[in-house]
Amino acid sequence: MTGHKFRKLWLAILAICLVSATIVFANALIFPGAPPGTEQNNTATAWSELVPAEIYSLYAHHPGPAYAPVQVYWSWSPAGGTPGSWMPMGPTTAPPYPHYWNPTIASQQNGGFIMGATAFTTAAPFMPGGNSAIYMSNSAGGGIPFGGAVALAITGAANQWFDYPSVTSVDLPMIPAPMSGTVTYAWVQYTDNDG
């Protein structure tokens, strides 16, 4: 087979594979009923470690064009995230601050999920009254909502801003107690008054 014919065969195989992948792995909307004019972004997703094919997904839901108001919404799929399997479950339990975004999520050995997100006041960052905080919450999985939000850190100072939390769970069975099952949070702390 000449190089030219081999290249045509290779391109034909590649085209078939791409079309097949598009059909098999189609995008699935996690919030199919999102109202027009809203925006969902900053998605975080985790698979259950106990229940096969169970997935939780968190995302920031902006009901309008501005950065605020915003809340963390969640969706649940008991079928591996296949199209049509996502069930929008609405907002997570909000902390005392009115706005909640940049979610993070991790699965746990017991089948539950643990999340975190940034909460902030209506004031702009780095302004008097512009507090932010990192909150966490748990769900037992199985489509059960997240419980009440618990503060991990609150700024309390006008020149600081907490954001972009990340959560990891120590879930490897070979890791012994007391580390097994523990959770670690990390976040960005801005202190320069301008982000």
Q: Can you tell me the distance from the alpha carbon of 29 to that of 6, in angstroms, rounded to the nearest whole number? A: 39
pLDDT of residue 5: 62
The length of the chain in residues reads 195
pLDDT digits 0-9 by tens, 105-148:
999 989 999 999 999 887 666 666 678 899 999 999 999 999 99
User: What sign has the CA pseudo-torsion 119, 120, 122, 124?
Assistant: negative
Please give the distance of CA 28 from its chain centroid, rounded to a whole number.
15
* CATH code of the domain occupying 29-190: 2.120.10.10
- Report the side by side order of strands in the sheet with 87-91: 39-47, 55-62, 71-77, 87-91
**Tokens 């997904």, residue located:** 57
Looking at residue 53, its pLDDT comes to: 93
Give residue for tokens 């706005």. Answer: 99
pLDDT digits (tens, 9 = 90+) for 2-60: 556 656 666 566 555 444 444 444 567 778 778 888 888 899 999 999 999 999 999 99
Average pLDDT of the residues in 54-70? 88
Residue 78: asked if its preceding bond is cis (omega within 30°), the reply is no
Give the predicted TM-score (pTM) of the model.
0.81
Task: Evaluate whether 92 touches 73 at the Cβ level (below 8 Å).
Answer: yes
CA–CA gap between residue 183 and residue 112 (Å, rounded): 12
161 — pLDDT class (breaks 50, 70, 90): confident
In percent, the amount of the chain with pLDDT more than 90 equals 44
